[in-house]
Amino acid sequence: MTEAAIEKENKEIAKQYKELLRISYQSLTDEDKKLIRSAFDIAVDAHKNQRRKSGEAYVFHPIAVAKIVASEMGLDAVSIASALLHDVVEDTEYTLADIERLFGETVARIVDGLTKIAHLKKDMNISQQAENFRKMLLTLNDDVRVIIIKIADRYHNMLTMDSMPEHKQVKIASETLYIYAPLAHRIGLYNIKTELEDLSLKYTEPEVYEDILGKIEESKEEQQAYIDAFSGVISDSLDKENLNYYIKGRMKSIFSIRRKMKVQNVSFDEIYDKFAIRIIYKSDRHNEKFLAWKIYSIVTDHFTPNPVRLRDWISSPKSTGYEALHITVMGPKGKWVEVQIRSERMHEIAEKGYAAHFKYKHGNQKEQGIEEWLNKLQEALENANTNAVDFVEEFKLNLYSKEIFVFTPKGELKSLPKGATPLDFAFNIHTEVGMHTRGAKVNGKLVPLNTTLQSGDQVDILTSETAKPSQSWLDYATTARARSKIKSSLREEKKSTAMEGKEVLRRKLKSQKINLNEDTINKLVVFFKLKTSLDLFYRVGIGAIDNQMLKDFAASYSNAFITFFKNKIKRTPVPEDIHREEITTKYDTLVFGKEEDKLEYKLSQCCNPIPGDEVFGFVSVNDGIKVHKKNCPNAISLQSNYAYRIISAKWIDSSQEEFTVEIMLTGIDNIGLISEITEVISGNLHVNMRNINFSTDGGTFSGRITLVVKNNAILKKVIDNLKRINGIDKVSRI
């Protein structure tokens, strides 16, 4: 770079720093400014020779993250300093000890939580990304600010991914959808969560993203006109009550519109609630609820409400701390529209989440949802000694869950995720209650422990000192806390049984004149086709491995040939794993059809890909290469946890191969309709039908047809031609 360019860049860095101080949410003390300045100076020095993929100085990234932390999340000076330093230990010569010496223990702990696990051994059974997630999530035991800063870091990375190669964009976007967007939602950062979802869709399904974005842009003027018309009807009535308020419209996110299109199997134009209207009013805490219902009354005086779409999160706030009154009314032009009624305090909590929640907390008021969730989460994390992927899956269980509200026998209100059972309720009350549950009553009636609870249920847990968790409880429990406690108890019981089993095994082998040592244990594990020595001891302890089975082992023990053979079996997985790594690195494109380098593969049944679909290969541990569609329901999880086992794949020539695919049709039941359908498919397009199934009800029909096609282009042609038949409403691939 020239001196002029360097000077210009330095001026821009200084400008960004001043902007950071200006937008800081809280009024900073002199000590705060000193802390931030020191962190800024260290960040500039540490990253002075580093540049991002885009070519800009790396230090712009930590400054941008700190600005997000300050302005959009409203965190304190310690958080801002930690954000400035978040990549220093991972990417530069500075150590964690340096950070602690310069900035103290709190900043060092946060920076440590933000630093990825380095030099993790690459293993087909270990997900490095899941291990990094686990490390980050475990810091919730110490400081939730780690998670918030990490979300800000990910948000800025998502905003600046255009210069990255496509496979990295897809990997990062998948991770974001898999863990960061749900986390942002759970901490109450709804704006950030929405942005993360939309940006993820931009890279995982770019064509879909651009299509919906274009349609939203086209309808903006129409939407604004509708909001103005709605506001005009109610403004006079609100003004007469001397309310201090404002009305704004909010377009539903691209991601949420896409989700509705998929779930409801409809087009963009068929989504009726593409935007919501917010009425935000000023009020002191004492009058908030009264004024919310007053505004509700005024709105419903003018527009008919949908009685099943009323949500009162003021009386019972969400566990994220979210409060508002949501109603759906029949608005102008006969359109359903969602109206959200919030005070300014509620609005700020909805926008800034966790930080705003604590700003408004006074004494023993109701903003306890987030604290309760964090406390329960921390308790669950204390027992987190499962593998990393299972850990993250358990953690994710309750991130996006809708809530129900149930009552204790004394009338106390408890919040649980939708789908919760009496067992979840028991562990929500107290761990000891959960551990000794022997039954449950719901609304006075004895019910099974796997009963799904509904809002308004009164739940009474029956306990016994002799009751204890069983393996079947994992089928009943849905919350991360309950499942974690049950697994912990089962592990302890298994360890205890295994210790007894080990002594039993030692005695029984001694009678066969065999010593129980490491070599013998390894041979026993191979002989009985088990995974670990713990499994071996446990199975002996419960009697699953009996005397005769051990005699069979003893008979083989002295046979040198069999011993050698079993050792060969034992060593087999090692070269197999190496071979898979060679496949992963050697073939950057997986080719199908007539290509000479054709690899063995299987089409995954979760998404049933066919030629023409956008696909990728996944190197599984026991089942070779599995091919998935890029928009497969499991794609996000695979890309997030096992990116190093993904092989890019494309169809070259599949003209000699045929694939089965199922389509669904709905419409009006006309005479001769099936004849027309079969004529189009078999007569005109010469496509074979393997199965056809139709049913009628009240003049309408629905049907499924299994087709045999060579590629996606032929399938699309079939669907397009079927849609032209009079009476057919929808045709879609299943």
31 a catalytic residue: no
Specify whether the backbone of 534 is left (phi greater than 0), alpha (psi in -120 to 50) or beta.
Answer: alpha
Q: Quick one: the chain helix, strand, coil %, rounded to 5? A: 55, 15, 30
> Is residue 647 predicted with pLDDT exceeding 70?
yes
**Is 80 exceeded by the pLDDT of residue 127?**
no
Catalytic residue list contains 98: no
The pLDDT, as a whole number, for residue 596 is 43
Given pLDDT bands bounded at 50, 70 and 90, which one contains residue 73? confident
Residues 327 and 300: their CA atoms lie apart, in Å, by 9
Q: What is the pLDDT of residue 585?
A: 37
Helices (H), 59-205: 60-71, 77-84, 88-91, 96-103, 105-114, 128-138, 145-159, 166-175, 181-187, 190-204
Tokens matching residue 165: 């190669």
Cα dihedral 320, 325, 330, 331 in deg (nearest 10): -100
Options 41, 90, 301, 576, the catalytic residue: 90
Token pair listed for 135 = 């490390």
Spatial distance between the Cα atoms of 91 and 413, rounded to a whole number of angstroms: 48
Most confident of 192-196, 367-371, 398-402: 192-196
Amino acid type, 354: Y
pLDDT, average across residues 399-418: 76
Alpha-carbon distance of 396 to 424, in angstroms, equals 16
In the block, tokens 């103005």 appear at 228
Query: In angstroms, rounded to a whole number, what is the distance separating the alpha carbons of residues 379 and 321?
Result: 20
Cα separation of 564 and 89, whole Å?
49
pLDDT at residue 41 in the model: 93
Lowest mean pLDDT among 21-25, 194-198, 332-336: 21-25
Residue 535's nearest CA partner among 527, 548, 525 is: 525
Which of helix, strand or coil describes residue 686? coil
Question: At residue 584, does pLDDT exceed 50?
Answer: no
Q: How far apart are CA 303 and CA 329, in angstroms?
A: 6
Q: What is the pLDDT of residue 635?
A: 85
Topology adopted by domain 216-352? Beta Polymerase; domain 2 (3.30.460)
Give the per-residue pLDDT at 643: 76
Assign residue 456 a region (left: φ > 0; alpha: ψ between -120 and 50; beta: otherwise).
Answer: left
Higher-confidence residue of 82 and 601: namely 82
Question: Which of 91, 98, 142, 669 is the catalytic position?
Answer: 91
pLDDT of residue 254: 93
Q: Which long-range contacts (CB under 8 A, 24 or more apart) does 507-511 make?
A: 508/540, 508/547, 508/550, 509/550, 509/554
pLDDT of residue 116: 63
Task: Say yes or no: do domains 216-352 and 659-733 share a fold.
Answer: no
The confidence band for 563, taking pLDDT boundaries of 50, 70 and 90, is very low
Other residues' Cβ atoms within 10 Å of the Cβ of residue 502 = 18
Kindly tell me if the per-residue pLDDT of 311 is higher than 80: yes
CA dist., res. 656 & res. 336, Å (int): 51
Interval 433-474: pLDDT, tens: 999 999 999 988 889 999 999 877 889 999 988 888 988 898
Mean pLDDT to the nearest integer, 153-171: 89
Q: Between these two residues, 107 and 529, which has the higher pLDDT value?
A: 107
Say whether pLDDT at 374 is over 50. yes
Domain 3-189 part of CATH 1.10.3210.10 = yes
What are the structure tokens assigned to 507, written together? 């005695």
361 close to 143: Cβ distance less than 8 angstroms: no
Instruction: Give dist(CA 419, CA 423) in Å, integer.
Output: 11
Decide: 488 and 383 in contact? Cβ < 8 Å: yes
Say yes or no to pLDDT of 366 above 60.
no
Q: 455: which 2 tokens?
A: 């809002």
Of 201, 329, 229, 219, whose CA–CA distance to 274 is shortest? Answer: 219
pLDDT of 293 > 90? The answer is yes
Pair 668, 727: CB distance under 8 Å: yes
- CA R_g for the chain: 30
Tell me, rounded to whole angstroms, the distance of Cα 13 from its chain centroid: 35
pLDDT at 383: 54
* pLDDT tens, position by position, 338-361: 999 999 999 988 887 765 655 555
Residue with tokens 């979760």: 606
Mean per-residue pLDDT over the chain, rounded: 80
What pLDDT is stored for residue 142 in this prediction? 57
Distance CA 200, CA 209 (A): 9
Does the pLDDT value for residue 136 go beyond 50? yes
Is residue 581's pLDDT more than 90? no
Residue 329, CA distances (Å) to 240, 271, 288, 310 in order: 22, 16, 22, 10
Q: What is the 3-state secondary structure (H, E, C) of 281-315?
A: ECCCHHHHHHHHHHHHHHHHHHCEECHHHCEECCC
The confidence score (pLDDT) of residue 657 equals 64
pLDDT-derived band at 629, boundaries 50, 70, 90:
confident
Domain range annotation of the chain: 3-189, 216-352, 488-571, 574-650, 659-733
Q: Is the pLDDT of residue 655 over 70?
A: no
pTM higher than 0.85: no
- Tell me the CA end-to-end span of the chain in Å, nearest whole number: 55
Helix/strand/coil (H/E/C) assignment for every residue in 405-444 = EEECCCCCEEEEECCCCHHHHHHHHCHHHHHCEEEEEECC
CATH superfamily of 659-733: ACT domain (3.30.70.260)
Percent above pLDDT 90 for the chain: 23
CB crowding 92-110: b at 16 or more within 10 Å, else e: bebeeebbbeebeebbbbb
What angle, rounded to 10 degrees, do the helices at 560-571 and 547-557 form?
Answer: 100
Residue 663 pLDDT level (bands cut at 50, 70, 90): very high
Give the mean model confidence (pLDDT) for residues 120-139: 55
Above pLDDT 70, what percent of the chain?
Answer: 82
Q: Which residue has the higher pLDDT, 142 or 12?
A: 12
Q: Which residues contact 317 (CB under 8 A, 6 or more apart)?
A: 323, 366, 367, 369
User: What residues contact residue 689 under an 8 Å CB cut-off, 6+ apart?
Assistant: 678, 681, 682, 705, 706, 707, 708
Distance separating alpha carbons of residues 198 and 184, to the nearest angstrom: 13
Q: Which residues pair with 590 in a beta bridge?
A: 649
Cα–Cα distance measured from residue 714 to residue 673, given in angstroms and rounded to the nearest whole number: 22
Q: How far apart are CA 154 and CA 175, in angstroms?
A: 10
